[in-house]
Amino acid sequence: MNTSLLKTLAAAVTAFSMSALATGAPQWLDQHEQNLTSLADQLWHKAELGYLETESVELLTQTLKDNGFTVKTGVAGIPTAFVAEFGSDGPVIGILAEFDALPGISQSSAPIEESVPGKNAAHACGHHLFGAGSVGAAIAAKEWLQANNHPGRIRLYGTPAEEGGSGKVYMVRAGLFEDTDVVIHWHPDDINSASPFTTLANKSAKFRFKGISAHAAAAPEFGRSALDGIEAMNMMVNLLREHVPQETRLHYVITEGGNAPNVVPNFAESFFYARHPNATTLASIWERLLDTARAAALGTGTEVEWEVIHGNHSILPNEALAQVMHKNLVAAGGIQYNKKEQQFAEKIKASFPEEKRHEPSANSVEDYRFYQRMGSTDVGDVSWNVPTVGLSTATWVPGTSAHTWQAVAAGGTSIGHKGMMLAAKVMSQTAIDLFSQPELIAQANKEFKKLRGDNFNYVPLLGDRKPPLDYRRTTH
C-alpha cells in the first residue's frame, strides 16, 4: 500500500474518531434525559432554601456516586457544599451546580398564578434545572473521558446558597478552585446566549437597631424606637440615591419592625443590598451606607450593629472561552416547542405587560456580543480566580423575568427540561473541546491574566466572616 493512501486512510480514521468523540456526550444525555428531568423535578418539588438544601444535595451526590464520581461533602465549612470528581492527570475542568430556591414565592406548574398550599418557597430562578443539568453535563463529559481513556479530570462543584448566601465565595476562600484550569457554568433564562457578559458586584448586610421599650401613649418620652432608627436610615439611603453613580443599585426590606403599635419597639432589623459594576466603587458606596446607619442611630437615640451577609464580585468575562461555547450553542440550536408547550407559552405570555409579549422565539440563539447584566452572582468570585465561561438557555417562556411565578411554573414543565438539556449538551461539549484542545485553555489563561492585571489581589467582599448557615431559617 503506498504512502499517500496510508495518509488518506489515517486522515479518514482521525476524522471519524473526532466525529464520534464529538457526538458521544450528546448521545449519552439523550439516552438519560428521563433520569435527568426526573432529578430536576424532584429538586423543583423540594425547593430548599440556601444552606438548607440537605435533601437536594443527597439526590445530586448519589447520582454522581452512582456514575463513578468520588464525592466530598461538607467542604468549606458548609454542610450542603460538595465537590465531585472523576479522572486523573491532565487538565481540571470544573462545572458549577446550584440548587437553592427562593423564599416568599409559591407556584404550581400551571400557566396561571396558582400558589401551592403550605409551601412558601420555590425555584423562581431555576436552580433545580441548574443543579440537575450541570450534573448531567459532568457525567456526559466523564463518559467521554472514560470511553476514550483520555487524561483529564471533570469536577462538579455543588455550590449552595447562591441567592444571597455567597456559597461559592467561601469555596473560593477555602482554596477549592486553586488547581482548576477552567470553570463552566450556566443559568436558566428566557433566551439562548453564550455571549461574554459581566454582572454587578454586590454586598449585603442586616442592620439591627436596639432601642428602649415604653408605653407609646402613657410614657413615650421614655422610649427610644428601634423602628425609628430603621426608618431614618431608609430615608437617608433614599436621599443617597441621587448622589451615587447611576449604575448603582440600592434596595432593602424591613425584616422586623415591632409587634404592637402601642409598644415602642426596642428591636428592629432591615436587610440591605448595594450593587455596582466595580468592586472598588462598591466599597466606597458601602461606607456611605454604613454612615447612614450610624447617623440614624445617633439621631434616634438608638444603637446599631450590622452583620455582613454576603458579597460577590462582578463576573470577569473570558472571550477565548465564550467563543468556544457560542460555537457549540449555535451548533446545538435553540428549543422547539410542541403543540402543548406552545399553548402553555401563550397562556404565560398573556400574563405579561403588552411590551413583553413579543420577545424572540426560544428557537433562536442570540447573536454574539458583549453585554452588562444588572444582576449579581457569586460566580463572579470564581471568575476572578479561574478562567470562567457561562451560557443561558431558554428554560422559561421568552419575556419571563427571573424570580417570578412564571419562572417557577415553566421550570416545572417540559419547557424547563428542554432548556436544561440544551445547556447540558453545550457544557459537556465545551468541556470535551477543552480536554481535546489544550491550546484553548492556554488562550483562555493568557486572556485571564491580562484582564486581571499583574497587581491583582483577590479580596472577598464579605471579609473573613463564616458562612451564614442560618440566614434563611426564619423564612423557611
pLDDT digits (tens, 9 = 90+) for 72-97: 999 999 999 999 999 989 999 999 99
Residue 191 falls inside a structural domain: yes
In this structure, the answer to whether residues 240 and 165 fall within a common structural domain is no
Q: Are residues 398 and 372 in the same domain?
A: yes
Same domain, 255 and 323: no
Are the CB atoms for 252 and 273 separated by under 8 Å? yes
- How far does CA 436 lie from the centroid of its chain? 28
Q: Is residue 193 part of a domain?
A: yes
Domain final residue, candidates 313, 341, 364: 313
Inside any domain, residue 454: no
Domain total of the chain: 2
User: Number of C-alpha atoms within 13 angstroms, CB side, residue 202?
Assistant: 28
On whether both 36 and 167 belong to a single domain, the answer is yes
- The verdict on residue 216 lying in a domain is yes
pLDDT of res. 473:
79
Kindly state whether residues 330 and 294 are assigned to the same domain: no
- Position 24 scores a pLDDT of 66
Query: Would residue 466 count as lying in a domain?
Result: no
Choose the final residue of a domain: 282, 313, 344.
313
Same domain, yes or no, for 358 and 286? no
Return the closest-CA partner of residue 125 out of 343, 416, 371, 434.
Answer: 416
pTM: 0.88
* Each residue's pLDDT tens digit, 184-225: 999 999 999 999 999 999 999 999 999 999 999 999 999 999
* pLDDT score, position 302: 98
My answer on whether 260 and 111 are in the same domain is no
Contacts 24+ apart (CB under 8 A), 456-459: 456/384, 458/172, 458/381, 458/384, 458/385
At 1, is the pLDDT very low, low, confident or very high (cuts 50, 70, 90)? very low
Range of the domain at 303: 201-313
Q: Is residue 458 part of a domain?
A: no
Residues 184, 303, single domain; the answer is no
CA 146, chain centre distance (Å): 29
Last-in-domain residue among 296, 313, 330: 313
Q: How far lies 394's CA from each of 40, 315, 363, in Å?
A: 15, 21, 9
CATH number, domain at 226?
3.30.70.360
The per-residue pLDDT for 26 is 76
What 3-state class would DSSP assign to 72? strand
Are 277 and 301 contained in the same domain? yes
CA distance 132 to 395: 13
The answer on 182 and 47 residing in a single domain is: yes
DSSP annotation of 467 reads P
Distances (CA, A) of 78 to 168, 217, 346, 469: 10, 48, 42, 7
Record the cell numbers describing residue 354, joined without a space.
403588552
Distance CA 290, CA 234 (A): 12
Instruction: Please provide residue 307's backbone torsions phi and psi, each rounded to the nearest 5 degrees.
Output: -120, 115
CATH of the domain at 357: 3.40.630.10
Q: Which three cell numbers stand for residue 130?
A: 441548574
Whether residue 461 is contained in a domain is answered as: no
101 with 137, same domain: the answer is yes
Q: Classify residue 34: in a domain, yes or no.
A: yes
Residue 29 in grid coordinates: 444525555
Assess whether 162 and 212 both reside in one domain.
no
